Amino acid sequence: MNFNILNSENIEKVYELLEKNRIISLVPFKYFKKGTLDDEAFDSELSLILENENKEEIIAAFIAIIRKISLKNICYLKVCIVADEYQRKGIGTSLLQELIIRARSKGAVMISYGDSIPNYWQPGVDLRHTSLYFFLKKSNFQKLEIRNNLTVDLTNLKIDPQQRKGDYHFERVDKVDFQRLLNFVKKEFPEGTWAEEVRMSLDDELATSFVAKDSYDNIIGWATHSQFFPGSFGPIGVLESLRGQGIGTELLKWSLLDMKRNKINNATIMWVAGNTIKYYSKAVGAYIFPVFVSMRYKLS
């Protein structure tokens, strides 16, 4: 097979392929480009774009990136699609085999589907996408843990966040506070990629992060939304010493209200685990949906 690479000239056609054949929700084009061509880890050699014989349309696309996690190169498969009428012809298997060869040549130790933090759309394989699940399973991807997103119906949710709560007040982060917020997240939540995720929310003209401040104007908590796609929520964090006072709940409500004002009907709380699910359910009526499964293929 002769593969093309993903580029600025064909990315809209690749997006059209996803629109035409998608089984689950698709992020808007701006965020699709943000997560592929504009991702700092994008590598054109890990994008396999296949056209039909007449080169009139794109019929398949596999797009991956490599991130270094704990000193190991992990390959993340972000797009895996074959047009409906071209399935069951071995095309997907051939594309995946080629991607495995290329990922291994770049020193990757495994391929993981979807969970390419900090710039990701979903934390694994959406179980509504049954054909993808069984394709990866047949291709010797190992099924690991179940991961949950939560959904909040904003259409009927009454949201009335407080401007002040005790000695603390809440506001949308402004450009003056961008660096202060990043410094706060890096210092108080050094593990993981939350600082990078917050930075993504500051790229747009109107930042989608809210902060809580004390009477001395110190940032003591924050919440971010819509950096992965419109309506996505998280991360969120409050100083450990101040938790349990409802500060995080107010930050959550400000974010949800901001979404609702932007005509978003459903909020997606990303990648939630453990007792946190119960908290969101009580606070804003969030419910588990959709459900994902982590799937990985070992390269070494």
Segment-wise mean pLDDT, segments of 10 residues, the chain, 300 residues: 94 96 91 96 98 90 96 96 95 98 98 97 96 97 98 96 96 94 97 94 86 98 96 98 97 98 97 95 97 96
pLDDT of the residue at 54: 83
pLDDT of the residue at 105: 98
Cα 125 from Cα 298, distance rounded (Å): 17
Q: Which 3-state string (H, E, C) describes 232-266? A: EEEEEEECHHHCCCCHHHHHHHHHHHHHHHCCCCE
pLDDT of the residue at 178: 94
Cα 195 from Cα 270, distance rounded (Å): 16
Cα 297 from Cα 53, distance rounded (Å): 31
pLDDT of the residue at 300: 80
Q: What is the pTM of this model?
A: 0.94
Q: Can you say how many angstroms the Cα of residue 215 is from the centroid of all Cα atoms in its chain? A: 34
Cα 258 from Cα 273, distance rounded (Å): 24
Q: Are 269 and 149 in contact (CB under 8 A)?
A: yes
Q: How far is CA 192 from CA 34, 70, 117, in A?
A: 20, 10, 9
Closest by CA position to 187, among listed 200, 176, 198: 198
Q: What is the helix (H) or strand (E) element at residue 199, kind and residue range? A: helix 194-201
Q: Are 75 and 66 in contact (CB under 8 A)?
A: yes
Set out the domains of the chain in order of their start, with CATH numbers: 11-143+294-298 (3.40.630.30), 156-264 (3.40.630.30)
What are the strands, taking DSSP E only, across 83-140? 108-113, 125-126
pLDDT of the residue at 1: 79
* C-beta neighbour count of 139 within 10 angstroms: 16
